[in-house]
Amino acid sequence: MSRSKGMLTAGRIGTSLDASDTRANAGQDHDQSWSPILSAGIASGGASAHTSRLSREAASPIDERPQLVLGFETALLFWRAVHEGRLPAPVCTDFIRLPRCCATSYAQVSRIDLSHLGVRLTGEGAVSLYADGEVYWGPDARNRRAVPRVCPVPCGIGAYPGMVFALQVMTAHDGERNGCSAIEAHLASRELPPGSLYRVSDDIMVVSCELAFVQCCRKGCDLPHIELALELCGTYGLMTAGLPGRFDCKPVSTASRLAEFVGMCGRIQGVRAARNAMAWVADMLASPRESEAYLFATLPRKSGGFNLPRPSANVKVHVKGTTAENLTAKEYFKVDLMWEDKKVVLEYDGIDDHEKDPAKMAEDKERRSVLAALGYTVIVMTRRDLESEWTLRSKMAQVALALGTELPVFDAQEARTHAVLFKWLTNPFHDHMPFGCGYR
């Protein structure tokens, strides 16, 4: 497939979105009990003492028995399980290099207690367990067979009980990469940024979700990386192998935390693609469809988007103390996407009116009428607006008109690029890292 700089080409998404690393803010960590402590001792002026302490930690001997270090998609599955409450939070370490001896072979890993991860090792890979420790032999995600919507809840890092997946582990020495089909060993000999390694148990470590994101950016093009970052910073989890997605989740990370960590990664493989992706990442998007609407609206023309100004996601519009406070008993409403300076709101409504219950319909009408009374222009996007490129363009033209701008007219190449972007984002089974085979 052809691959041209800065644009989507036939069947392939281009890999050169303009990147600007502008979101570094060490003070916005949500929960340091499980999120990386990126700038401990540095923001407060203690850089030299902190660095020397890290150097001593890195040089000090650690347990010589093989350590299992989870990375890549396996690490992201772990962090998703932690933030959903299925696993306890690990402890951040000061190590800036991998242990001297890492478990990469089946024999080494089989001697490690994997109950801390809620999985059991087999010849085919790690198998996710029931909450009571029993194996549920459900369909394999790699075969994309339908899974019952009512399914036992996993107790560990698997997306569903019985999920079979290869453990992706890290090692500092190339000679130790003697993994098998159940274990994928990756080399990481460079020094890591502070806050990269967490201790799960005496024998198990995991990389931070920020480092795992950078690792996942080693392969592929920009768009899957952007989608992954939007999910990590959003309040939803994608559907895996036919199981329902998760909503109202706590974000695994934030855009500022990801940007700060990526800025400290130096020459770690994948950092350039991660920087490109971070230029388009926003916090608090609440569903995959909201992320799609955000990308369609904001990506540049050369990448198939409509190049509109960036909105804020899931913003609270306060009603109490305004002229409309007598119209509702609520103190505020939360809207999907909002251009605050223009008082324009774009909401995605994934349920048709005839499918809604009366209470939900009344709530939507109340919210939109109050917003209109406050001077907001409310534009509603439905799933039917994503059925064709024409209906999507029509909806985006409404947004552009409300913003006081014009929708761009694509040339022939940009039209082809937009068609590829549309096909990618609206395909319910496009490959998505790291949680499975797609969503919806």
User: Are residues 117 and 32 part of one domain?
Assistant: yes
> Is residue 18 pLDDT above 70, yes or no?
no
Q: What is the pLDDT of residue 154?
A: 58
Domain that holds residue 388: 308-407
User: Are residues 236 and 197 part of one domain?
Assistant: yes
User: Are residues 330 and 231 part of one domain?
Assistant: no
From 278, 296, 327, the end of a domain falls on 278
Per-residue pLDDT band at 15 (split at 50, 70, 90): very low
Query: Which residue from 320, 318, 337, 322 is spatially nearest to 402, judged by alpha carbons?
Result: 337
Burial of 239 (0-12, 13-18, 19+ CB in 10 A): buried
In a domain, residue 415? The reply is no
CA-to-CA distance for 430 and 86, rounded, in angstroms? 27
From 278, 298, 330, the end of a domain falls on 278
Q: How many domains does the chain contain in total? A: 2
User: Are residues 36 and 156 part of one domain?
Assistant: yes
User: Are residues 171 and 72 part of one domain?
Assistant: yes
**Distances 155 to 78, 81, 191, 435 between C-alpha atoms, Å:** 11, 8, 33, 16
> Is residue 148 pLDDT above 70, yes or no?
no
Taking the model in full, what pTM does it have? 0.78
CA-to-CA distance for 161 and 85, rounded, in angstroms? 16
Return the percentage of the chain with pLDDT > 90, whole number: 50
Range with lowest mean pLDDT among 126-135, 174-183, 237-246: 237-246
* Coil, strand or helix at 82: helix
Q: What is the pLDDT of residue 429?
A: 58
In a domain, residue 4? The reply is no
Query: Which residue from 278, 239, 227, 287 is spatially nearest to 255, judged by alpha carbons?
Result: 278
In a domain, residue 296? The reply is no
- Per-residue pLDDT tens digits for 231-258: 999 998 764 444 445 678 889 999 999 9
In a domain, residue 158? The reply is yes
In a domain, residue 106? The reply is yes
**Long-range residue pairs from 330-338, CB within 8 A, at least 24 positions apart, any chain:** 333/367, 333/370, 333/371, 335/371, 335/378, 336/286, 336/290, 336/293, 337/290, 337/293, 337/294, 337/297, 337/311, 337/312, 337/313, 338/311, 338/312
Range with lowest mean pLDDT among 176-180, 191-195, 199-203, 266-270: 176-180
Amino acid identity at 58: A
User: Are residues 233 and 105 part of one domain?
Assistant: yes
> Is residue 54 pLDDT above 60, yes or no?
no
User: Are residues 245 and 138 part of one domain?
Assistant: yes
- Per-residue pLDDT tens digits for 349-391: 876 654 667 888 888 889 999 999 999 999 999 988 988 999 9
Query: Which residue from 338, 355, 356 is spatially nearest to 347, judged by alpha carbons?
Result: 338
User: Are residues 165 and 36 part of one domain?
Assistant: yes
* Coil, strand or helix at 228: helix
User: Are residues 32 and 94 part of one domain?
Assistant: yes
User: Are residues 231 and 312 part of one domain?
Assistant: no
In a domain, residue 299? The reply is no
CATH number at residue 389: 3.40.960.10
User: Are residues 399 and 268 part of one domain?
Assistant: no
User: Are residues 238 and 188 part of one domain?
Assistant: yes
In a domain, residue 363? The reply is yes
Range with lowest mean pLDDT among 20-34, 258-272, 373-387: 20-34
CA-to-CA distance for 365 and 371, rounded, in angstroms? 10
Residue 205 forms beta bridges with which residues?
69, 199
CA-to-CA distance for 113 and 296, rounded, in angstroms? 45
Alpha carbons within 13 A on the beta-carbon side of 435: 26
**Distances 290 to 22, 189, 425 between C-alpha atoms, Å:** 23, 39, 11
- Per-residue pLDDT tens digits for 114-124: 988 988 888 87
From 259, 278, 297, the end of a domain falls on 278
In a domain, residue 302? The reply is no
CA-to-CA distance for 398 and 401, rounded, in angstroms? 5
- Supply φ then ψ for residue 72, to 5 degrees: 55, -140
